């Protein structure tokens, strides 16, 4: 089954609104694409379209949050974290406000719109800000979980979602917790740490490796900040080599975070699968994933390279 | 000054019709893209490229050329159609719109396609580019003029007004902003989503010379562009009332056609409409 994370977001946000009257939603003229339109139709009084004005949207979110609201502010990832970066940093995060920056259309799977609309830097940009939590769900069910979880998580959060339909990974999300990665497969030869749409690719890669007699541990690192140090280090100790996989630049995202952790705590080879310091471009999502090497095959290759680098 | 007569007007009208037909065909073949705002701006862009601007398609980097910046970069198919029609690249390339590896990116990329003056797509930034180009022309003692096309929804971006302020402060008489005032953005009419009216008063308050015209009346557009040339000490804004989706019966005034491609059947119907005129 395939569900777009943004569709799950729209539905979950509406349900959250039914339950909690302090939820207020903002959008910047993209409500039909980010799916906040579901909330807007159900609760027109608690939805404000701020127009094509992302910077102001974040400052308004700060003001609402400073007045006791739990604010979900949505637009495309590039405009949320790029255009409005400094507003998020100074007005939202520094002030530790209850603003949930919920961005859709992250990564290259935006597709045909091309580079101007494809954010491959947003995890890095959000991760570097103090007080900010960063959540990158793998599928529809875990997105719905994340929307509820971040409501209950005081302070600023960045939630990253995509445009296309993606395979469902989770049957049950009952045990998910912010800051705690999920072990989806256990193996002693290599550890594959993935987030977002790369989780299902990682599981496919692990199956491909198993056919060659290589057993991989697969972790869904849905929370990039705070990073689940214990599980990642435990995997590093057990397997002795890691691969990271993300629909994001190999600089500064999950791969960056894992490398920083292992370099100082338990050095092991880390091979990063992601966009290699490039801008995106137009193309259909699957073609682009092939072009930029965001595939199960690429992860499987990286696993073998990482294994060959073991001391 | 060249004479604006009926013959000129009819020639540009027929060019604009060709651009519209091509826009719909390209977006239809690509299977995605933004037809509405490309169609609303077709008459403005036809007047610029087939009358107003000085350029040489064989020398896209000619320093003395006039510049056109598509600040509302999602209207890229219109820019590509007019560049092909003007001879910057072979029209066969239009069929590659939005394909992997094509120079015709979903939003304009100045490093991939000759004639594209600015890489746009993130709204609000093109008018700042235009201010920079107008400053550079003055600095170099060139008489190049700079034209920038903005959406009316795009005016909601705060940085548009930062550029408007700078253009007036630096008395950029070589800069013309054209506002495609089609009254619609993505989430609905501007009047529901985020009102920017009165647009003319806002530009005037910032020190711009302004004209409010029918953006589909070729004669009016040409005369206004002539008037803009007479104003040497201030930037000039043309607020052009337009209809989103203009020229395609089922797209006109429909907010849903902002960013959606016609199906093969709809494409055929649209092309038939053009060919029967
Ligand atoms: C900074 C930024 N925010 C959001 C978008 C997404 N977007 C693309 S077109 C559009 C609506 C533009 O409306 P308008 O300027 O009126 O264009 P037109 O009606 O002429 O198509 C939006 C919100 C964008 N491209 N850039
Ligand atoms: Mg408009």
Interface of A with B in 142-161 (CB under 8 A): none
CA distance A123 to A115: 16
- Spatial CA neighbour of A125 closest among A248, A26, A247: A248
pLDDT band at B153 (very low <50, low <70, confident <90, very high): very high
Is the confidence metric ipTM above 0.95 for this complex? yes
Helix axes A198-211, A296-308, angle to 10 degrees: 60
- What does the DSSP 8-state code read for residue A277? S
Percent of chain A past pLDDT 90, that is, above it, reads: 99
**Contacting residues of A for B161, CB less than 8 Å apart:** none
A234 interfacial to chain B (CB closer than 8 Å): no
- Look at residue A47 in the predicted model and tell me its pLDDT: 98
CATH of A2-167, one of 3.40.50.1010, 3.40.50.300, 3.40.50.970, 3.30.70.330: 3.40.50.970
- Spatial CA neighbour of B45 closest among B82, B5, B13, B20: B82
CA distance A60 to A73: 10
pLDDT tens digits, B251-271 = 999 999 999 999 999 999 999
Q: Per-domain residue ranges for chain A? A: 2-167, 182-308
CA distance B120 to A9: 29
Inter-CA distances, A32 with A3, A35, B155, B185, Å: 16, 5, 20, 12
Inter-residue contact A135 to B129 (CB < 8 Å): no
- In the predicted model, what is the mean pLDDT of residues A235-249? 98
- Give the three-state DSSP class for B265: helix
Contact B194 A52 (CB under 8 A): yes
Q: Over the Cα atoms of chain B, what is R_g?
A: 17
From the list B32, B119, B153, the residue facing A52 with the nearest CB is B153
From the list B30, B105, B185, the residue facing A52 with the nearest CB is B185
- Give the three-state DSSP class for A12: helix
Distance from CA of A204 to the nearest CA of B (A): 25
* CA angle, A291 then A292 then A295, to 5°: 90
Cα torsion at B224, B229, B235, B239 (round to 10°)? Answer: 10
- Spatial CA neighbour of B50 closest among B19, B26, B76: B19
- In the predicted model, what is the mean pLDDT of residues B11-18? 98
* CA angle, A134 then A138 then A139, to 5°: 125
- In the predicted model, what is the mean pLDDT of residues A152-165? 98
- In the predicted model, what is the mean pLDDT of residues A184-189? 98
- In the predicted model, what is the mean pLDDT of residues B216-225? 98
- Spatial CA neighbour of A77 closest among A293, A248, A285: A248
Concatenated DSSP letters of A88-151: IIIIIITTT--EEEEEESBSGGG-TT-GGG-BSSHHHHHHTSTT-EEE--SSHHHHHHHHHHHH
Distance from CA of A50 to the nearest CA of B (A): 7
pLDDT tens digits, A1-53 = 899 999 999 999 999 999 999 999 999 999 999 999 999 999 999 999 999 99
| Chain B nearest-CA residue for A110 | B106
CA distance B132 to B7: 36
- Look at residue A52 in the predicted model and tell me its pLDDT: 98
Inter-residue contact A83 to A56 (CB < 8 Å): no
Domains of chain B: 6-275 (3.40.50.970)
- Spatial CA neighbour of A108 closest among A14, A4, A197: A197
**Contacting residues of B for A53, CB less than 8 Å apart:** 156-158, 194
Q: Whose CA is nearest to atom 4 of ligand 1?
A: A52
Inter-residue contact A185 to A206 (CB < 8 Å): yes
- Look at residue A311 in the predicted model and tell me its pLDDT: 78
CA distance A149 to A215: 32
Cα A207–chain centre separation? 23
Q: How many CB atoms lie within 10 A of CB A280?
A: 24
Please identify which residue in the block is written with the tokens 């550890």: A191
Concatenated DSSP letters of A255-271: HHHHHHHHHHHS---EE
Q: Which CATH architecture has domain A182-308?
A: 3-Layer(aba) Sandwich (3.40)
- In the predicted model, what is the mean pLDDT of residues A223-247? 98
- Spatial CA neighbour of A71 closest among A30, A32, A102, A41: A102
pLDDT tens digits, B95-149 = 999 999 999 999 999 999 999 999 999 999 999 999 999 999 999 999 999 999 9
Supply A35's token pair.
């799916």
Please identify which residue in the block is written with the tokens 């519209």: B20
**Contacting residues of B for A27, CB less than 8 Å apart:** 187
Concatenated DSSP letters of B35-58: HHHHHHTHHHHHHIIIII----TT
How many beta-carbon pairs under 8 angstroms link A with B? 91
- Look at residue B2 in the predicted model and tell me its pLDDT: 86
pLDDT tens digits, B43-80 = 999 999 999 999 999 999 999 999 999 999 999 999 99
Q: How many CB atoms lie within 10 A of CB A167?
A: 16
Cα A109–chain centre separation? 13
Q: Is B78 in the pocket of ligand 1 (CB under 6 A)?
A: no
Q: Which residues of B206-224 are buried (b: 16+ CB within 10 A; e: fewer)?
A: bebbbbbbebbbbbbbbeb
Supply B260's token pair.
């959606």
Residue A265 a catalytic site member: no
- pLDDT over 90 at B1, yes or no: no
Q: Is B182 in the pocket of ligand 1 (CB under 6 A)?
A: yes
Cα A213–chain centre separation? 31
pTM (2 d.p.): 0.97
Distance from CA of A33 to the nearest CA of B (A): 9
- pLDDT over 90 at A242, yes or no: yes
**In whole numbers, what is the pLDDT of chain A averaged over residues?**
98
CA distance B95 to B115: 18
CA distance B235 to B166: 10
- Look at residue B277 in the predicted model and tell me its pLDDT: 75
């Amino acid at each position: 089954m395939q569900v777009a994370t943004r569709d799950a977001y729209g539905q979950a946000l509406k349900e959250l609104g039914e339950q909690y009257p302090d939820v207020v939603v903002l959008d910047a003229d993209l409500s039909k694409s980010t799916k906040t339109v579901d909330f807007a139709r159900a609760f027109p009084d608690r939805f404000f379209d701020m127009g094509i004005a992302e910077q102001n949207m974040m400052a308004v979110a700060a003001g609402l949050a400073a007045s006791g609201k739990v604010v979900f502010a949505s637009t495309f990832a590039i405009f949320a974290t790029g255009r409005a970066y400094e507003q998020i940093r100074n007005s939202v995060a520094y002030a530790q406000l209850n603003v949930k920056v919920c961005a859709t259309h992250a990564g290259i799977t935006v597709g045909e719109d091309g580079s101007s609309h494809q954010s491959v830097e947003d995890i890095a940009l959000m991760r570097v800000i103090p007080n900010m939590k960063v959540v990158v769900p793998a599928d529809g069910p875990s997105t719905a979980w994340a929307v509820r979880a971040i409501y209950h998580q005081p302070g600023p959060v960045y939630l990253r979602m995509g445009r296309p339909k993606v395979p469902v990974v989770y049957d049950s999300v009952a045990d998910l917790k912010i800051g705690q990665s999920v072990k989806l497969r256990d193996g002693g030869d290599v550890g594959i740490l993935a987030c977002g749409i790369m989780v299902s690719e990682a599981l496919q890669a692990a199956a491909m490796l198993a056919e060659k007699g290589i057993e991989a541990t697969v972790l869904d690192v849905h929370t990039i900040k705070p990073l689940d140090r214990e599980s990642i280090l435990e995997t590093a100790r057990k397997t002795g080599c890691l691969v990271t996989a993300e629909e994001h630049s190999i600089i500064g995202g999950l791969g960056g975070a894992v490398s920083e952790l292992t370099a100082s705590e338990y050095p092991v080879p880390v091979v990063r699968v992601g966009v290699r310091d490039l801008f995106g471009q137009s193309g259909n999502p699957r073609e682009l994933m092939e072009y930029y090497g965001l595939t199960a095959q690429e992860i499987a290759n990286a696993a073998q390279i990482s294994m060959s680098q073991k001391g | 000054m060249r004479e604006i007569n009926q013959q000129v007007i009819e020639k540009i009208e027929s060019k604009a019709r060709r651009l519209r037909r091509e826009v719909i065909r390209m977006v239809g073949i690509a299977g995605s893209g933004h037809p509405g705002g490309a169609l609303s701006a077709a008459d403005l862009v036809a007047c610029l490229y087939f009358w107003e601007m000085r350029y040489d398609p064989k020398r896209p980097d000619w320093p003395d050329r006039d510049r056109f910046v598509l600040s509302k970069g999602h209207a890229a198919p219109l820019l590509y159609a007019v560049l092909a029609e003007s001879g910057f690249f072979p029209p066969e390339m239009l069929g590659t719109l939005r394909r992997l590896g094509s120079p015709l990116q979903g939003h304009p990329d100045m490093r991939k396609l000759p004639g594209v003056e600015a890489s746009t797509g993130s709204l609000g930034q093109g008018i700042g580019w235009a201010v920079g180009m107008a400053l550079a022309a003055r600095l170099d003692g060139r008489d190049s003029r700079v034209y920038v096309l903005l959406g009316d929804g795009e005016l909601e971006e705060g940085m548009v007004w930062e550029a408007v302020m700078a253009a007036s402060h630096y008395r950029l008489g070589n800069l013309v902003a054209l506002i495609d005032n089609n009254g619609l953005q993505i989430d609905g009419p501007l009047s529901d989503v985020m009102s920017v009216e009165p647009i003319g008063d806002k530009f005037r308050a910032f020190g711009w010379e302004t004209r409010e015209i029918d953006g589909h009346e070729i004669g009016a557009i040409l005369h206004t562009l002539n008037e803009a040339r007479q104003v040497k000490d201030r930037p000039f804004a043309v607020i052009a009332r337009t209809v989103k989706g203009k020229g395609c019966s089922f797209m006109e005034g429909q907010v849903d056609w902002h960013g959606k491609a016609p199906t093969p059947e709809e494409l055929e119907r649209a092309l038939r409409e053009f060919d029967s005129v």
